[in-house]
A and B are shown apart, each in its own frame.
Chain A
Amino acid sequence: MILDTVLTTSTAMVAQTAGLLDTDSFLVSMLLKVALVIGLFLSLPLIVGYMEHKAMARLQHRRGPMFAGPAGSLQLVADGIKFIQKEDVIPRAADKWVFAIAPGMALVPALLIFFVLPFGPGVWAADLELGLFYALAITSISVLGVMMGGWASANKFSLIGGLRAAGQLIAYELPLILAAIAVAVQAGSLSLVGIVESQATFMVAGTDINVWFVFPQILGFTIFFVAALAELSRPPFDMPIADSELVFGYMTEYTGLKFAMYLLTEYAGMVSMSALMVVLYLGGWQILPGVPLPGCEAGGGLFDCGVLGTLIGVGVVMGKILMLTFVMVWLRVAYPRLREDQLQRMSWLVLVPLSLVNLAVVAVAKVVF
């Protein structure tokens, strides 16, 4: 009974809740949104990159960057300045226009995902009704940029790298989508904010213990994480780049800022995939299951949090994103690269069937309880 009331009030809240950036004037709110999205897109990858430098160094008994800025924290800024000063070499054999456009083709979709990601109570550019569908659809455009770069370079290493990337990205997109659909079944919503909301009111059947979706769907979370790693071509799934076999895969012929754009795409992808996992499985901006943020009033303690609550909420999301990206870095240090056919077999024979089983179990459980 109490549960029902909570559910109805919170659903009503979702319907009414507008992001902090929705003001009366369309232009003003649009400016704020563009600023939010671009600001996060350019800053979070740098933070994650610095974390990777330092974490990898520590895991390998090194100290990592030390001299650029305090404790080497400005190392990536220095790298960026170096990239700007580099000459832009376009090989004579290359298809010049496609070669020039390809990094942008990878970069823009990576930017567009940030458009729907909620980073805290009210802190999102748009709460689309089809948010989850949108995020998954936009992710799959990035493969075009990689393919275009690999093809246009007119280099054998690049071509092999680009084709490997295409094969890998389509193989791992399926488990990713199927695992995400299981979350949509459980939440009954495709809106990312709605999914966070439904986790705040999701109880273990027959009790009033609040849990996040990671507990009933630990299998789905594992599948999503592995598939996300493969989608990002992060080690141990970095066959498209495979520096010991393919020089640098589809990026072999790229120099200077265009190369930097591919790198930015990769790190932005790490952030957006982690943010998606936080939203889908780890309860968004809740500190612990069932613990609302201070200052929040309605809807399971998720919205209208005041300044303090909003800041803490954003901090919690960033903390969870950093934790997930740290695990990605950790896996990079811990595991060697897979072979290309092992990669394909793992997706088609292990992850796709497992994610279908996961979906079936979740759907049956949803109907029974």
Chain B
Amino acid sequence: MSFTEQYGAFAIMVIVGCALYAVIMLGSRLMRPSVPSPLKLTTYECGIEAVGTGWSQMNIRYYVFAFLFVIFDVEAIFLFPWALVIGDLDGSTSPSALYALVAMFLFILTLLEGLMYAWKKGVLKWE
């Protein structure tokens, strides 16, 4: 299969997936009852009336994790091509296998240092 055929098939699959969801949703409109009432449409909050809106201000502790994640996710992108070629390298190739290993380990260590720093700063600990 050629490249275009593979990813053409993928594009068709995306369209079919979206169409599947749309058909299910529109089809179910024909089958289901619809008896709206004002009380039914209120926001659920344990049976009492909701206080304020659902979009209230809240403390998002996860945003620091999002930063950490971006750093390591970019690292993962660099690791994929490295993972493919590392098996083909040895002492006689250029770059040599040792060079490739050391280079990647230095890169990972640098990132690990960032993780250690975040840990030391108490980012990963909640009171």
A92 touching B41 in the complex, CB below 8 Å, given contacts A30-B9, A128-B6, A367-B89: yes
How distant is A253 from chain B, measured CB to nearest CB, in Å?
A: 6
A348 touching B53 in the complex, CB below 8 Å, given contacts A87-B34, A88-B34: no
Q: Which of A168-176, A230-238, A269-277, A311-319 lies at the interface with chain B?
A: A168-176
- Contact status A22-B1, CB under 8 Å: yes
How distant is A343 from chain B, measured CB to nearest CB, in Å?
A: 11
- Determine the distance from Cα of A111 to Cα of B16 in the docked complex, in whole angstroms: 10
- Determine the distance from Cα of A258 to Cα of B32 in the docked complex, in whole angstroms: 12
Q: Tell which of A22, A126, A154 touches B10, judged by Cβ atoms closer than 8 Å.
A: A126
- Contact status A352-B16, CB under 8 Å: no
Q: Tell which of B42, B115, B126 touches A352, judged by Cβ atoms closer than 8 Å.
A: B115
How distant is B99 from chain A, measured CB to nearest CB, in Å?
A: 11
Chain B neighbourhood of A100, CB < 8 A: 25
Chain A neighbourhood of B87, CB < 8 A: 185-186, 188, 366-367
| A to B CB contacts below 8 Å, 6 in the list | A18-B1, A33-B9, A91-B42, A108-B14, A111-B17, A181-B76
Interface digits, B39-59 against A, CB 8 Å rule (1 contact, 0 not)? 011111110001001111010
Q: Which residues of chain B in 55-91 are interfacial with respect to chain A, using CB atoms and an 8 Å cutoff?
A: 55-56, 58, 60-62, 65-66, 68-69, 72-73, 76, 79-80, 83-84, 86-90
- Determine the distance from Cα of A93 to Cα of B44 in the docked complex, in whole angstroms: 11
How distant is A137 from chain B, measured CB to nearest CB, in Å?
A: 10
Number of interface residues of B (CB under 8 A): 70
Chain A neighbourhood of B88, CB < 8 A: 188
Chain A neighbourhood of B6, CB < 8 A: 126, 128
Closest 9 CB pairs of A and B: A154-B54, A167-B62, A104-B21, A108-B17, A188-B87, A92-B41, A341-B126, A184-B83, A170-B69
Give chain B's interface secondary structure class. helix
- Determine the distance from Cα of A261 to Cα of B126 in the docked complex, in whole angstroms: 34
- Contact status B69-A173, CB under 8 Å: yes
How distant is A275 from chain B, measured CB to nearest CB, in Å?
A: 17
- Contact status B54-A159, CB under 8 Å: yes
- Contact status A84-B32, CB under 8 Å: yes
- By beta carbon, the residue of chain A nearest B6 is A126
Number of interface residues of A (CB under 8 A): 79
- Contact status B101-A107, CB under 8 Å: no
- Determine the distance from Cα of A92 to Cα of B44 in the docked complex, in whole angstroms: 11
Chain B neighbourhood of A104, CB < 8 A: 18, 21-22, 25
- Determine the distance from Cα of A87 to Cα of B34 in the docked complex, in whole angstroms: 6
B28 at the interface (CB under 8 A from A): yes
- Contact status A93-B54, CB under 8 Å: yes
Q: Which residues of chain A in 218-270 are interfacial with respect to chain B, using CB atoms and an 8 Å cutoff?
A: 247, 252-253, 256-258, 261
- By beta carbon, the residue of chain B nearest A171 is B65
- Contact status B40-A154, CB under 8 Å: no
- Determine the distance from Cα of A92 to Cα of B43 in the docked complex, in whole angstroms: 7
Chain A interface (Cβ < 8 Å from any Cβ of B): 18, 22, 26, 30, 33-34, 37-38, 84-93, 100, 103-104, 107-108, 111-112, 115, 125-128, 133, 151, 153-160, 163, 166-167, 170-171, 173-174, 177-178, 181-182, 184-186, 188-190, 247, 252-253, 256-258, 261, 340-341, 344-345, 348-349, 352-353, 356, 359-360, 363-364, 366-367
Q: Tell which of B1, B17, B126 touches A126, judged by Cβ atoms closer than 8 Å.
A: B1
Contacts A91-B44, A92-B41, A188-B88 aside, 20 further interface pairs with beta carbons under 8 A come to A86-B32, A87-B32, A88-B29, A92-B42, A100-B25, A112-B10, A125-B13, A126-B6, A126-B10, A155-B50, A157-B45, A166-B62, A253-B44, A256-B32, A257-B24, A261-B24, A341-B126, A348-B119, A360-B108, A367-B101
- Contact status B54-A261, CB under 8 Å: no
- By beta carbon, the residue of chain B nearest A248 is B44
- Contact status B124-A85, CB under 8 Å: no
- Determine the distance from Cα of A298 to Cα of B101 in the docked complex, in whole angstroms: 34
How distant is A322 from chain B, measured CB to nearest CB, in Å?
A: 25
A174 touching B69 in the complex, CB below 8 Å, given contacts A126-B6, A156-B54, A367-B90: yes
- Determine the distance from Cα of A361 to Cα of B110 in the docked complex, in whole angstroms: 18
- By beta carbon, the residue of chain A nearest B96 is A367
- Contact status B84-A184, CB under 8 Å: yes
The residue among B40, B80, B119 with the most chain A CB atoms within 10 A of its own CB is: B80
Q: Tell which of A34, A190, A261, A367 touches B86, judged by Cβ atoms closer than 8 Å.
A: A367
